Structure 1
């Protein structure tokens, strides 16, 4: 039997900023809280995985970190690990308060950068029933140095100029010419 993939938008506060999430109600009382990796949003980063958990009866709360996707916060596209860890704590509290969720059956799931966060999240949240780190980025500086070995100088220059331009636009409130970012 295939379950319906109905989901509802949920919002919760983290550090005074509203974070956006999708809640997929489950049937077994458990809930998997998930966040996508790096600068990816919940749309492409969580939906395929949420569908599998949901089909198995689990509730899912898939959220965007502040400054990303549908969540609030400026400047946009800034990855701040301390803020993201706070967003995890707020998302876990939100999931535990959902009507069909047993607070003792909440799990955390992340991949890539979020998978790396799972280690700290689980260490600081003893109430979690489970923690899943899929292909975690556990050592950012080492991974960055290794990635640099495969990057051209021209590619790094283009990325740096693009990021600087994005930051200037955020601070000067000039609309981004590419709304897909």
Structure 2
């Protein structure tokens, strides 16, 4: 099977900007029918055209689902100012807004909605699932708790020092200075190695985002430095022991890297009280191989298709 796509824009009542999305529809789509639907959430620094869209949304649409991949607020083709803000609370709200749109579509069965996310999007969709009971089943693909990552590796393991710098920068911007925008990644793998970077996640992220392998206009890999403070006090897994009761699939690669998907996957699997939870650890697979490499993504999609088939 193949899928067809439709570019859309949507917002919730009271929202000041549109979100840009792509609806991935099954090949034999019938507007008079009734379909289960899935929200697909992109990684940090990514966009709807990359792995959340062209791999996971595409694959699930081919399996018969209506899938909505969308750009986060302040990023890609979505609205919101200032640009290049990565605010976890807003990212989670964006998931709810995407569901608000899905439930207005006459061909979507509002009682059969799921969520899937990749990397930071995996953490966001898990968090959204805790507080939005419209999500009946959730799958996290190499999911990362961006709050934990921000306090650790992304702050040089000095969260207070980083917050001091972010606060000073925000004061400067409030007084009229230009925003500081940092790229999460080096310009190339060679440049990263020359700078002494050895971590598999950093190098493979650079290979994905900075080459034709995955590079797209909306995948900025950049963030406004002063606004990164929003992630420092956030935790994707807060209250998981009480609230994460829906069926859950966690897919991670066996090769650990600096972004921490392996440990985060193990942690949330242990903490969630869901009576139907699955942990799939793919041998010899790294974080970024689960973005686009055919064999590991094929296994992840097969697991997700079976999982959603059982619960939606």
Structure 1: how far apart are the matches of 2:146 and 2:83? 24
RMSD: 2.5
What TM-score do the two structures reach when normalised by structure 1?
A: 0.76
Aligned-residue offset at 1:142 = 4.6
Aligned-residue offset at 1:6 = 1.6
| Bigger Cα Rg | 2
1:125 and 2:119 correspond? no
Q: 1:167 aligns with which of 179, 182, 185?
A: 179
Structure 1: how far apart are the matches of 2:180 and 2:152? 26
SS in 2 for 1:73: coil
Summarize deviations over 1:107-149 as a string: whole Å, max 9, x none: 1111111111122211111122211111111253356524648
Any residues of structure 2 matched to 1:104-123 within 5 Å, and which?
A: 104-123=111-130
| Alpha carbons of structure 1 residues 142 and 84: separation in structure 2 relative to 1, 3 Å | closer
Runs of 4+ aligned structure 1 residues displaced above 6 Å come to: none
Task: Check the 8 A contact 2:44/2:119 in 1, yes or no.
Answer: yes
Task: Check the 8 A contact 2:113/2:135 in 1, yes or no.
Answer: yes
Q: 1:145 aligns with which of 149, 152, 162?
A: 152
Q: 2:143 aligns with which of 136, 141, 164?
A: 136
Structure 1: how far apart are the matches of 2:10 and 2:87? 18
Gaps of 5+ in 1: 150-163, 170-179
1:21 and 2:21 correspond? yes
Aligned residues: 156
Range 54-63 or range 135-144, more displaced: 135-144
Q: 1:9 aligns with which of 7, 14, 24?
A: 7
Task: Check the 8 A contact 1:25/1:100 in 2, yes or no.
Answer: no
Structure 2: how far apart are the matches of 1:45 and 1:18? 22
2:277 maps to none
Any residues of structure 2 matched to 1:72-87 within 5 Å, and which?
A: 72-87=79-94
Aligned-residue offset at 1:20 = 0.3
Gaps of 5+ in 2: 158-172, 182-216, 221-312
What TM-score do the two structures reach when normalised by structure 2?
A: 0.46
| Alpha carbons of structure 1 residues 116 and 29: separation in structure 2 relative to 1, 3 Å | same
